[in-house]
Amino acid sequence: MQSNSQEQFVQIPLHIDHNQTNDSNRRHNKWLTIIICMILAVTGQCIARILENYYFLHRNTSRRYVVLTQSLLQVIGFPILLFPFLLFLFKKQKQLLITSGGISRKQLAILYLIICSYMFSQAIFSTSKHRIPFRAFTLIYTTQLFFTVTFSILIFSKKIKFNRWMIISLIFAVFAGALSFSAGSSIYKGKKYNRWVIYTAFCAALFFSLLLCTIRSVFDSLISICNASTRRKQPSFAVVLELLIFSSFLTTVILVAVFFVSGEHHNIKRDMDGFSKGKTAYVRTMVGQAAAWQTYWVGIVGLVFAVSAVFSNVISVCTWPLVSLFVVFFHYRDDRYDVFTGIALAMATLSVASYLYVIHKDKCNGEEDTS
């Protein structure tokens, strides 16, 4: 009896140490994923906006600009994700994917159809920022934070928990986005604009929020299926690339069809010929935008996967002041670095710091519960 109890006494601490090591590695990997996704989201959005400003600065203003082309650039760069996606698959042979994770084909088809419709609508409606003053657009588009919070409460009412630090982070993010006056393109020069453009800006914010929350629901469904079975591994970052490749491909097909039906493909050559920096610079600008937007989407959807749709939206909005700073730095517009840009940067920093503290606190509480 004594030897058996002694053997059990020896095995218990070894088992705990093993679990603690796994939890520590998992925690470090989680933080590494969050940091990398934040860098990708910020870098991608900054480069995309800067190249967008560069395009509108040097285009032929006497001609109508190509609306659908700018929408298409947001999704058409998905082929660059194929290599890292295949790398994930070859690295781990038994990689859990969305298509093989237990979600029925019918449900999967419906989810992808919904995601594509949201992605298409967001890409189309977001071009409204070129038809109104960007100061007005930022005030309207910042409402995506409220939409994301509302949809998160409705969809994930039992899972999402709001505390004072998260609310503080959202308040700082709202001010950071609203004070980002010079992050947009310079196409709009009028004093009046149609009220329908305001509605499209609201629609862009609405569909972006719906897109993030729907993507999160897909990830949650996959995670819940894995938790229900002890034999299934937890999904890795490969599911982020898989979702982006499939949804971007379908959205690209739809946009290309609309692109040719509308006849906008006839304007591409004229738009290229009218570019003041030449055809080569035009192609580089377009390719650069497509690659930058995909980098942004990997970061944003990665944050939805690693944390939540709300945090992903906070990072997206808090990048606007940084974009304003780079726009002024590269002298793409006549804007100057003013006190509003400084306040917006400070608000963005405080917003991100507050939310990271929430994540850190949640992880610490999780460790206490498991110990």
Q: Which residue has the higher pLDDT, 249 or 195?
A: 249
What helix, strand, coil percent values describe the chain, rounded to 5? 75, 0, 25
The residue-averaged pLDDT of 275-299 equals: 94
Q: Which of 222, 244, 215 is nearest to 309 (CA)?
A: 215
Phi and psi of 56, rounded to 5°? -70, -25
**Rounded alpha-carbon distances, angstroms, from residue 251 to 72, 100, 242:** 9, 22, 14
Question: Quick one: tokens of 63?
Answer: 């001609």
State the average pLDDT for the chain. 81
Q: Is the pLDDT of residue 10 over 50?
A: no
Q: Using one digit for the tens of pLDDT, what is the confidence trace for 12-70?
A: 444 444 455 555 666 778 899 999 999 999 999 999 988 988 888 888 765 566 678 88
Residue 14 has a pLDDT of: 42
Helices (H), 59-182: 67-72, 82-91, 105-125, 134-141, 144-155, 164-178
Q: Which of 159-173, 174-188, 191-205, 232-246 has the lowest mean pLDDT?
A: 174-188
> Which residue carries 């959205």 as its tokens?
251
In this predicted structure, which of 106-120, 175-189, 294-308, 314-328 has the lowest mean pLDDT?
175-189
Interatomic CA distance for residues 303 and 240, integer angstroms: 10
Name which of 265, 273, 263 is nearest 58 in CA terms.
273
Phi-psi region of 275 (alpha: psi -120 to 50; beta: other; left: phi over 0): beta
The fraction of the chain above a pLDDT of 70, given in percent, is: 78
Across the range 4-16, mean pLDDT stands at 45
Residue 207's pLDDT is 94
Quickly tell me which residue has 């395009």 as its tokens: 55
Q: What is the pLDDT of residue 66?
A: 67
Does the pLDDT at position 321 exceed 90?
Answer: no
CA distance 359 to 353: 10
Q: How far apart are CA 142 and CA 167, in angstroms?
A: 15
Contact 293, 204 (CB under 8 A): no
Report whether pLDDT(93) > 90: no
What is the per-residue pLDDT for 5? 46
Asked whether the predicted pLDDT for residue 310 surpasses 50, the reply is: yes
| Alpha-carbon distances of 271 from 11, 31, 172, 230, 260, rounded to whole Å | 72, 44, 40, 57, 16
pLDDT tens-place string over residues 198-219: 888 889 999 999 999 999 988 8
More confident of the two residues 311 and 263: 311
What is the reported pLDDT for 76?
95
Taking alpha carbons only, the member of 50, 29, 6 closest to residue 295 is 50
Which of 79-93, 200-214, 319-333 is most confident?
200-214
Burial class (CB in 10 A: 0-12, 13-18, 19+), 15: exposed
DSSP state of 206: H
Helix axes 134-141 and 195-228, enclosed angle (nearest 10): 40
